[in-house]
Structure formats: structure tokens, C-alpha cells
Structure 1
């Protein structure tokens, strides 16, 4: 538990401190209000007592005759008893006290303060902690014969609380009971909401969470129900290229790719969703958290996709070899049949035509395409197209010299995916024409086919990852065109489609 006690006990103590402070404030206000009411009420009452005493004929007569001063005491005592005042004092015009409940005051000067009684005007104020009224006693000739002072001692603190017109003590008691009960309920509720964890345990969990978030090699992104970022670790910030002030901002304001935005916001659901980031292929998994939003984990699949591309290249090579073997087998069967028929001249002509056709394509590719990787790709794609009954030809304007390895790899990615896309688009016999040309500091790649092409309204959508007209049976086939766009944009180039013509531009120098 620790030396400071449990969380519930600490909350209870602090709540009680707040309640007691509130009660003290209420008590002080009650006393202040009671004091103000006391001064107003008692001031009027003491003024009335003093006026009644000063207006008594016996008081005036006794003050006018020094030999009758002894007769003043009964008047003062009677007024004090009937009114309940703390004291009633009668003094002469020379301020000397003539009668008082305290014998020690008799003969002493009456304390007047700011009183105007000796000037012939009544006065009410505070003297010595009491509310006092001074009223002059006026003789028949208009002279001031003396002063009648009636005072009521102000109550103490607790007397003020007890005598409060609002019954403050009862209110304080009710407030105390409600405060204690509310504190107990609050402590219990907080205990339940924190799952019984104490403050040091909650602190430890937060520290563990921070260490975990920043220590794992996966990106973690938390969003609230309004799709605002509430938490992001360093790896997620790097994978998504997020700004430093990403926390608190909406996903729509972060400038991420549309596909990424769909996955992060839940518009696209499912496990291991693939999306393209800043030069990376990402795998995302989104977990909704009821009313609290969602948590998205991200993994960098770039290296895995590179291995997959290499595997695809091996698979394409295998398919090409299989197609060539199938084609070679068919040709052998044809030659064997012609030999059995004794058509030796036809055999020689058939073999010559085959050799010339293959030699022409290889010669054409080699004469126009100096880069070995691009040339090998076109020769392999020709065999694959021939197996499907599709003709692959090259535009006469094609020309490509040897380029650096990075550009060569990008060209293989762009050209290979465009040719594969054209092969998939042709369900019947047709043709594909390829143009690869280096000019004005960029490589122009144009692939056209005899297929129906892309509808104008879908010209932009086809390059968005996940788009495909055959997604149901082929899965994420849209990744190829999305990779083409990402490759072109990364180099500062572009790609677009016009019907059945795809055009890509790749600058030789990568844009800064």
C-alpha cells in the first residue's frame, strides 16, 4: 500500500479536507451575516431603549438637579431589565457616569467615540465590541442635560452560529453528512474505475506502456472515435512520415494516402491490410475499442515484398521456361509428323521460319534495348504472351541505352507490371505494343493493347491500391498499378492511362 495509504483512503481524506474547508467558509459567512444582522437589529433596538429612557420626565428632572442624581439608577435598571440590553448608562453633560450596572464606571468619563450626543443628536455605533446607542437628554430650556447610553454586547463566534437566522449549525451538520457520504461514494467509484490499482501501480503501468510502445519494432497508432490521433510511437511516426504535432490532429489532416486513411478510419476492414506508405509497403491491423476509438498496428513489409518480387521473378522465369518447353514440344511434334510424312522440304522451311521469328524478336530487342534487365524482361514476356496466343511487339521508336541499376530496377517494375496488366486485360487473342524510349532526361514507357481499356471515370481509381475489377477472385491485384505510381512519383515522374494506353515517365535523375 505504501506509507501514504490506498488511493481510496487518500481521496476520502482530501474530500473531507475540502468539506471541512467548505464548512468553515460557510460558518464564517454565517457569523459575518449574523453580525451584520445583529448590528442592524440591535442598533435600532438600543436606540429605542435609549430614546425611551431619555424621554422619561423623571430622568430629565433628576439630571437637572444635582441633588437628585441618586434617582437615576431605578430608571436605568428598569430599562435594562425590560429591554434585555447588556447595560444602560446615564451620564451628565460633563460625560461623568452617574449610574451604571458596573459600579467601577460610576464617576468615570463615559466613552463616546464618534458620538454626537453632546451636540444634541442621537448616535448609533460600536464601542468596546458592543452595539451602542447614545441619545441626549434635552431640558426644557433646550440645553443638553446628559446622555443615555444603551448597549448590547456582540455574541461570540459559536453564539453567532447558533443564533444565525438561517440556522447555520443545522446546515453545517447536513453539509457534513452529505460531504462524507459523497466522499465515500466517490472513493469507491474511483477505486472501481482504476480496477483496484493504487497510484504507484498506475504510474508503473504508464512507464511500462511507454517503454513498450517505443521499444517494439511495430508501429502503434491510437485514434479516438472522431479519428483524431491520441497516441503514436516513434516507429509509426517514421513509417507514416507523420509530423511532430500529429497527436490531436485528425487523420484527414495528416496528408496520408487515401488507402491508408481508409484502413486507419475503419472504412476498410480485415486482417493484414496492405497499403503503400512513403516508399514502403505496410501491413496494417485495426482493432476497434468500443467507444474509445481504435488502435492500429503497422508493420513494414518492404523487405518482405522485395523477397516476394524476387520470388515472382523466379515464378515468371519458371512460367517462361514452361511456356518455351510447351512451345518447343509442340514444334518437335510438328517436325516429327512432317518427317513421318516424308515432307523434308516442309521440315526445313518450318525450322527456318521458327528460327527466323525467334531471332528477329531477340535481334529487335537487343538492337533497341541496351539495358540487359529490361531486354531480358521483354524476351521473357514474349514467350509468356505467345503461350496465351497474344502477340507482343515493340514500337519502332523504342530506344534505351544502358542505365544505372536503380533506374533499371524501377523500369523492370514499371514495365513488367504494365505488361502483366495488359496480359490480364486480354481474355482473347490480341496484341500488346511496348514503347521504351530515353529522351530529354527521362525514360518514356508506353504500353498499349487491343483490349477494351479503362473507362475515363476510372482513370485515377485504377492506380489506387486495392482497386481491381477482379478483386473478388484475385485478391489485392491492384497493388501492381499502385506500385507503378509510387515508383514514378518517387523519382519525380508520372503515370496515367487513356483508354487502353498506359504512359509512365521516369526521370533519369531522382527528384530531390
Structure 2
């Protein structure tokens, strides 16, 4: 058995049918208006004519005399026929005072009861209007015939007398077709031209809409819209679309949540939504952007922007957003493992160099130098350990500083601990955040200082930790080239490291530093020292552990 599916009408076909129906309705309305105007004109013009003719007849002496004759039809027939021929009306009827037809141009009407358009006609009042006469619609005028006043000798004195009869003059009402032909000699031409123009306009409109919808039919457009909704709101990533005027044309739930946008953000511009700074630069950029790191109200966002063009015209852009805040936390934890690995590698490299030196001194028989060298190493290590542990009482941070000292030494950078450093034991969670901030700032300082160190001007970095009852300030200075003023804020907003200021974007270490400081009620900033180099200053609120806590 073969199944036949009914073909659905195309969009162009539906529009054509709809427009054709509108044209037909307009044509019918125009025709109705024309008919109404024609009827009004006919009633006005012909009504006056038949009324004037009826009044003329009612005042005719022959008619007045003939009404009272024994055979009025024979007396009045010549008058009525002559008047009918000269005036071109359809019918003339004369009735006596009782309403019985006594003479008429239609012989079948003689002897019948005259149909009155108004009851007051029987009392001597005139009337005009549409009336059915012999099953035909006629425009008639009914005028009373009044006798002239007489004395006892039947002498005329010119005064009106009694109601002795009624004269009715009728004009056949034209048919609808006759009215249409009479409305305007060019009406059919006008209607035909309007119909052709309507059909042509409908066809052109259908073609234009077909092009604008890329040849898609309504059901296909509906399917695409449904798929788009399912795709956008099923994505784990945020999606934001902007038009060329930077107005939001589309945003899914994830994008609205990540950017902290209001529910009715569609149709509003970036300025109206309060989006400024680095986020606005990425969303409104001129070029495509890949993996741009942006901070937005405590979140680390990775954004990819792509321009949308068609036929060489810009339609706007689409930007996807990923929340890397949790991933950044994982990177921080992995960073601690990497730091440990780097520390072990640096210490291995340092110990290997020291062992090679000791081995060489033994091989050449300089045993006293071996003892002296080992003593110097021991005193340096004890001095560093004593300096760090005396000023930094939190073991986590002290161990981190010691580890970074070995890494700095491998890079030929001297790590100093400021004499103003004072840090007590911290809560483990707070210690982890402080370690992340210190580690990121020290790593950036080592990178910057290592680039500018020379034999005459050794590279160095200085770590200063100052704590009071409610806050902690972390200052990391270096002997590097410093940070240019225009990058003083961008270095955090972009997620740059210190090294990235010269080489490009790298990681989100400083972005995480700012995020942690703000979460702890503080902030981070960078300044340039007068003698050269940069100083990163991070502040956050802290709480001391009770005495005796381990």
C-alpha cells in the first residue's frame, strides 16, 4: 500500500493566497462603497424629479376634473400616457380619496388598492422613497390631490379644498450591475488594475520574504528555533550574542548567570547593563578573541568571541563563556605540587653542584677547603632558616618561602625576607590562600628579576609580610624592569603574570591573586619603585589562631 502525504503549502504560496484574499476583500469593499454612493445619488436626484412630477400632476386641472368623472380612467389615460412618454418615468398611478386606483399607466393596477409608503399620505401628506410596485422596486413619490374651494354656484375662488385623491409617480430602481456600470465608466478598469497590482505586489513580497528567510519554510524555521533553544539552554557554557550596535540579541541562562545580567537583558546595550572595562573590550572587540581571561564579580571567565558576517556585512558577534573559577582552584592546588616539584628539582640541582664542588676539592687534595666550604654552606642555611622561622611563625608560609629561596637561587636571584616581616600562625584555610598569593607574587617577581640581573647589578626580590589584629599585608618587591602604568590594572584583569607584561598572556596567577584578596575583603595593586623594579601589594583580612593552637 502506497502512502500519500499531502504537500504543505510553501511560505510564498501562503503569502500569495493571503495577499490575494486581502485584495479581494478590498475590491469587494470598494464595490460596496461604489454601490452605496450610486444608490444615494439615484435616490437624491431621481427622488427630486419624481416628486416634482407628482406635484405637477396633482396640480393639473385636467387631473382634478377627471378624478370626479364617472369613468376617470378614460379621461385621465391620455394625460398619464403623455406625461409618461415625456418624462421617461416607469409608472404613474392615480387613486381616489379612498385609496382605490382609478387610473394608471399599468392597466392591471386599475381597481386595486394603492400601496402607501406612509399612513399619513391618506390624510393629505406627501411622501417619497423605495416601494415595491408590481413586484418591482421603484423610487416613488406620492402626492395628495386637493380640490379647489367652491361656493354654492361652484365658482372658483382660488383656495384649496378637500383631499380628493393621490398621485404616485415611480422610477424603476436600477439593478446592482446597472449601478456598478453607472457608478463610473472606468470602475471596471480601476478594479482590474488594482487586482493586477495586488497580485504583483503579493508575489514580490513573497519572494522578498523567501530571500530573507534563506528559503526556509515556516515549519523549518520553527524547527530551527526549537533546536536553537534546546541547544542554547542545554549548553554548560554561556552564550552572548550582540548586534553591531552592541545590544544584546541573545543570552542563555548560563551566560546571564556568569555575567550577572538581569532577566530582561535582551535588547539592552552593554552600557545600559553596566558592562565596562576589560569585559566590554572582549565583548565589543573588533577582532576575534580566543581564550581571553576576564574577571567578573568574583569569577574567572574564559571567553571566545567570533564575529558574524553575511555577504560582507557585519551582523554582530557571538561570545561563549566558561567559568574557570573552580578550575583555577584546582590549578592552585596543582601549583602547590608543581612548586614542591620545582623545589625538589632546584634543591637537587643545588645539592648536586655542592657535591660536585666538594668532590673536586677532595680530588685535588684540598681537604681544609672542603671543611671551610661545608662550614660556609651550613652557616648560610642556618642563617636563612633562622631568618625565616624567626619572622614567619606559620610553618606553611615559612616552608614556602624556603622553597622559593632555592628556586630563586637556581635562577641567580637573591630572595630576601624584610626585617619588618611579622607573621603569626594562621588558620589552615587562610594559610592556603596566603600561600597561593605569596607563591604567585614571588614567581612573577623571580621571572621579572631574572630578566634584568647582571654581574654588576645582581637580581633580587624581597618578601615582606605584615600582620595585625585584623589584616595581613603582603609586599613583594623585585629588581626587574617594573610594570608600565597602562598595564598596572590590566595585568590583573587579563590574568597576566609579571612576565606576561613583556611576552603576552600566560595563565591566571595574578587573576587568582586578586580573586582571593577580594574574597578575603582586600585588594591587590602594583606600583613602581623610584629606584626601579615593581612592588606588588596584596591586602586581606585575617584571624589569628588561639594561643597554643597547633
Counterpart for residue 511 of structure 2: 482
SS of structure 2 residue aligned to 1:141 = strand
**How much is the aligned-residue C-alpha RMSD, in angstroms?**
3.7
Deviation at 1:401, TM superposition (A): 0.5
Kept in 2, the 8 Å contact 1:287–1:294? The answer is: yes
1:131 match? 139
How many Å separate the matches in 2 of 1:64 and 1:163?
42
For each residue in 1:267-287, what CA deviation from the matched residue of structure 2 results, as whole angstroms up to 9, or x when unmatched? 563323232345543332222
Q: Return the match for 1:354 from 377, 383, 387.
A: 377
- Secondary structure (helix, strand or coil) at the match of 2:290 reads coil
Q: What is the 5 A alignment of 1:80-229? A: 80-114=84-118, 123-128=127-132, 129-137=137-145, 139=148, 140-143=158-161, 144-165=163-184, 167-229=186-248
Unaligned runs of 5+ in 1: none
Say whether the 8 Å CA contact 1:229–1:249 is kept in structure 2.
Answer: yes
Asked whether the equivalents of residues 517 and 523 of structure 2 are also in contact (C-alpha less than 8 Å), the reply is: yes
Structure 2: which 5+ runs fail to align? Answer: 149-157, 529-533, 544-550
Shift of 1:164: 1.9
Give me the whole-angstrom Cα distance separating, in 2, the residues matched to 1:484 and 1:365: 23
Q: Distance in 2 between matches of 1:110 and 1:20?
A: 44
Given that 2:448 and 2:499 are in contact with CA atoms closer than 8 Å, whether structure 1 keeps it comes out as: no
Distance 1:2 1:274 in 2: 54
User: Partner of 2:289: helix, strand, or coil?
Assistant: coil
Q: Does 1:3 align with 2:30?
A: no
What is the match of residue 244 of structure 1?
263
More divergent stretch after superposition (446-455 vs 168-177): 446-455
Higher strand share: 2
Distance 2:185 2:419 in 1: 102
Query: Counterparts in 2 of 1:75-474, with a 5 A limit?
Result: 75-114=79-118, 123-128=127-132, 129-137=137-145, 139=148, 140-143=158-161, 144-165=163-184, 167-255=186-274, 258-267=277-286, 269-277=288-296, 279-290=298-309, 291-302=314-325, 305=328, 309=332, 316-317=339-340, 320=343, 323-324=346-347, 348-386=371-409, 387-405=411-429, 407-426=430-449, 427-428=452-453, 429=458, 431-449=460-478, 459-465=488-494, 474=503
Q: Which has the higher helix share?
A: 1
Does the Cα contact within 8 Å between 2:240 and 2:251 map onto a contact in 1? yes
Q: Work out the CA distance in 2 between the residues paired with 1:466 and 1:48.
A: 101
How far is the alpha carbon of 1:36 from its aligned partner?
1.5
The alignment of Structure 1 onto Structure 2 pairs a total of residues equal to 508
Deviation at 1:16, TM superposition (A): 2.9
Q: Which moved more, 1:450-459 or 1:431-440?
A: 450-459
What is the distance in 2 between the residues matched to 1:474 and 1:453?
14
Partner Cα separation in structure 1 for residue 346 and residue 474 of structure 2: 26
Q: CA deviation at 1:55?
A: 4.6
Question: 1:267 & 1:368 partners in 2: Cα distance?
Answer: 51
Q: CA deviation at 1:451?
A: 5.8
